[in-house]
Amino acid sequence: MFEYVINLIILFAIYAILGISLNLIVGYTGLLSVSQAAFYGIGAYTTAILLTSFGVNFFISVILAVIVVAIISFFIGIVLSKFSGDYYALCSLGFNAIAFSVFLNWQSLTRGPLGISGIPRPKLFDISLYTNTSFLVISVGFLLLVYAISVFITKSSFGRVLKAIREDERAIQVFGYNTSYYKLAIFVIGSSLAAIAGSLFASYISFIDPSSFNITESIFILSIIILGGLANIRGSILGALILILLPEILRFVGFPLDVAAQMRQLIYGLLLIILMLYRPQGLVGEYKL
């Protein structure tokens, strides 16, 4: 039971990081990105390859994963800056599909559908942190780091400009702000934070394959911030907590075995629909899509 609870907390920390990172882009800036799973996957594959093929220290691999994602997201962000609204969402969705295709077909690097196995747990000064309890401390530590970075951004003058862009981009341009710069910067920052979650996921599960980073995963991450609350960092954490715990709670509901999975998905979907109808900004959100 103890290990089961630790597993849930680790998964919660990973998805809370993903939720926070996406909320900076969608909630605070109003850019409807559906590509977070792609950057999550790039971070995971970067760490997996560095650990299994080159024996790089886990913590160094996290830094390198963030750098790789920052570079890629910079160029993707430049392309996306040419679009707005629904077209922005569609193009970001297209990038997610491209990234998934790369994960699946670049077999010499990613091993394609076979995935990468045997990804080791972190080491600190040659001490292997192989237990789930040790990994829990690392995961929560990274979550607190991402939370602190995000709060600093949202409370700063940079964050206030992001909110102004969300509310009325043309109005803020009148005052001489280069909104394209701000949108590109927050897209790179949000995507890079997702790489941290990818690194944690790869090392914790010790196996990754393309199915973990498809479009459905991006929609799930988007659901976290829609449920918890747009433009609210604590809402991202709340959304991750609910969507990680809800399937586990529904496991104990006495559905017949042959329809249990479908019934859980049905209840999960109905809750999201009801929320979107009566509380579209999320449980503690400050912004409506």
Q: For the chain, what are the domain ranges? A: 2-213
Mean pLDDT of 179-207: 97
**What are 89-122's pLDDT values in tens digits?**
999 999 999 999 999 999 999 999 999 999 999 9
Q: Exposure pattern of 209-231 as b/e (b: 16+ CB <10 Å)?
A: bbebbbbebbebbbbbbbbbbbb
Which residues face 116 on adjacent strands?
208
Provide the residue type at 175 as one letter.
F
Mean pLDDT of 232-239: 95
Whole-number pLDDT of residue 266: 75
In the chain, the percentage of residues whose pLDDT exceeds 90 is 74
In this predicted structure, the answer to whether residue 252 has a pLDDT above a threshold of 80 is no
**What are 8-64's pLDDT values in tens digits?**
999 999 999 999 999 999 999 999 999 999 999 999 999 999 999 999 999 999 999
For residues 73 and 36, the answer to whether their CB atoms sit within 8 Å is no
For residues 245 and 38, the answer to whether their CB atoms sit within 8 Å is no
In this predicted structure, the answer to whether residue 256 has a pLDDT above a threshold of 90 is no
Burial tier of 167 (Cβ tally within 10 Å: 0-12, 13-18, 19+): exposed
In this predicted structure, the answer to whether residue 261 has a pLDDT above a threshold of 70 is no
In this predicted structure, the answer to whether residue 260 has a pLDDT above a threshold of 60 is no
In this predicted structure, the answer to whether residue 150 has a pLDDT above a threshold of 80 is yes
In this predicted structure, the answer to whether residue 168 has a pLDDT above a threshold of 70 is yes
In this predicted structure, the answer to whether residue 170 has a pLDDT above a threshold of 80 is yes
Burial tier of 200 (Cβ tally within 10 Å: 0-12, 13-18, 19+): buried
Whole-number pLDDT of residue 255: 63
SS3 category, 245:
helix
**65, two tokens:** 């994963």
